Amino acid sequence: MTQATELPDSLWRASSPEPAPSTRPFEGEATADVAVIGGGFTGLSTALHLAERGVKVVLLEAVEIGFGASGRNGGQVIPGLKLDPEQLAESYGPELGERMADLAGGTADFVFDLVRRHDIRCDARQTGWMSAAHTDEALKLTHERARQWAARGADVAALDGPGIARLLGTDHGGYKGGWVDRRAGSVQPLAYARGLARAATAAGAVIHEQSPVVELKRANGAWRVRTPGGSLHADRIVIGTNGYTDGLVPGLQQTVIPVRSYIVATQPLGDNLRRTILPQGHCVSDSRQLLFYWRLDAQGRLVMGGRGPLRDRSRLPDYEPVRRAIRRLYPEIGEPEWQYHWNGRVAVTMDGLPHLHEPAPGLAVALGYNGRGVAMASRMGKLLADHALGAEASQLGFPVSRLSPIPGHAFRLPALAAVIAWRRFQDWRAGAL
C-alpha cells in the first residue's frame, strides 16, 4: 500500500485546540529501554505509561502524530468490545472473560481520566453513546447488550422507538429503539492524540516524527530498529501500527483487514438545529452491517461516518452515501455546506476483537480494534506498558495470542468487495438510509 506523507485536511486538523508537537526525524545512533513504533493512541499511551514509570522510551512515527486512524476517526469514546460480556465468557472462560469485560467496560473512564490528569484540550465530553437498532432482530440484540452491562453495574439503559427518536432528534431513520451507554462520550481525536504526545514528552519520552522504521533485527538479546536516518538500540519493542501496518514484522500485516471508513462534516449548524439534533449531546452508531456513526463537534457541525470504496483514495463521489444519510435523517438541515471530508483505515480482525501478540522475545504488538479503538487503544497502551515491564499474561486481564495470519489474505480486496456488496444488499433490504 502506498503511504501519504501527511494527514488529510480534515476537520480535526483544522480545529485542534492542541498544537502539533514539534519533533525532529530520528538521526544517528541512540539507545532506549523500549522503542515504540507508531504515533497513534496505542503507541502514545504505551510511551506515556512507560515514561511515567521511569522507563527510557523512544517513539518513532513514520509520518506525524495522529497520521493513522487516531487523527482521523469519529472521536466517539465507546467502552466495551464488539463481543458482549457473556460472549467473552463463552469464548475465554468465566474468569478471563469477566476480566476482559471489566477491562473493556472501563476504557471510556480511562480516556476521560487521562484527559483530566494531563489537561488535554480535546473538547472531551462524557455525554453518552447510543446504538440505534434498524431491525427488530437488532433491537433484541441491543436490549440484551444493555441487560448484560446493567447486570455488571454499568450506567446504561434500553431505549424504545420513541425514546431513541427523542435522543436522536429525528424519527426519519426508522430506528426501532436501541440502548444508551452513559459511560461513553466524545473527544476531538487529533487533539487527544497530540495531548497524549505532549504528556508523554513531559514524562520523559522522546518522540520522532517523519521516522519510518524500515527494519527490525534482534542480536545478542537486544533489538536494532533502523530508520532512514539511523539506528535505535532497544531492549524491547512495542508496535502500534494498526490499519497502517506494513511488512516490518513478517505475517503481521496479514492478521488484519484494513477497510476504509469515510467521514463528512457540515458547517456549524444554527442554534435552532443544535437544540433539536442530538439534543443531549450523544454520539450514535447504528446497527447496520455497514454502519453509520454520527455526533456534533464542539462547534455544532454534524460529523457523520460510514461506508465507501475499499481502495486508498479520496474522491468526492465516494462520500455520497454518508451525505445521503444525513439528508434523509435530518432533512430540516436542507443541503448543508459540506465543509470537510476525509477517510482512514479501520483494522478489522476475524473474531471482532483487538489482538495482543508477542511474535518474538521482547517484541509486543497490539492491533485490530475493529473501529472501536479510541477508548480501547488508549487502554491497550497501558496493558502494553505493563507487559513491557514484565507483567505475566495472567496478570493483564487480556489474552496474549499467537500471531495468526488470515487465510487467503492476499485475495482480501475482491473477497471483501463481495462481502460488502452482500451486506449493502442486506442493509438495503432492512430499510436503506
Which residues of this chain interact with ligand FAD, rule CB under 6 A?
37-43, 60-63, 67-70, 72-76, 78, 212-213, 240-244, 246, 248, 261, 263, 293, 305, 343-346, 367, 369, 371-375, 377
Q: At its nearest, how many Å lie between ligand FAD and the CB of residue 346?
A: 5
**Minimum separation from the CB atom of position 277 to ligand FAD (A):** 18
Minimum distance between the CB of residue 244 and ligand FAD, rounded to whole angstroms?
A: 4
Closer Cβ to ligand FAD, 60 or 278, answer by number: 60
Q: Which is nearer to ligand FAD, 161 or 281 (CB)?
A: 281
Cβ proximity to ligand FAD: between 161 and 300 the closer is 300
21 vs 305 by CB, closer to ligand FAD: 305
CB of 13 to ligand FAD, least distance (A): 13
**Comparison of 161 and 314: residue with beta carbon closer to ligand FAD:** 314
How near is the Cβ of 179 to ligand FAD at its closest, in Å? 17
| In contact, 264 and 326? CB cutoff 8 Å | yes
Query: What's the half-sphere exposure (Cβ side, CA atoms, 13 Å) at 380?
Result: 31
Tell me how far apart the alpha carbons of residues 385 and 391 are, in angstroms, rounded to a whole number.
9
Nearest distance, CB of residue 414 and ligand FAD, angstroms: 22
Closest CA to 328 of 140, 168, 151: 168
CA distance 75 to 78: 9
Q: What are the Cα distances from residue 98, in Å, to 152, 362, 378, 380? A: 10, 28, 20, 17
Q: Tell me 247's DSSP state.
A: S
Nearer to ligand FAD, 43 or 171 (CB): 43
Nearer Cβ to ligand FAD (1/151): 1
Amino acid identity of residue 151, one-letter, is A
Q: Which residue in the shown chain puts its C-beta closest to ligand FAD?
A: 373
Q: How far is the CB of 362 from ligand FAD (least distance, A)?
A: 18
d(CA 149, CA 79): 11
Residues in the chain: 433
The string over 385-400, giving b where at least 16 C-beta atoms fall within 10 Å of a residue's C-beta and e elsewhere, is bbbbeeeeeeebbbbb
Q: Grid coordinates standing for 307?
A: 461506508
| CB-based contact 343:314 (threshold 8 Å) | yes
Q: Write the single-letter amino acid at 210.
A: Q
Radius of gyration of the chain measured on its C-alpha atoms: 21
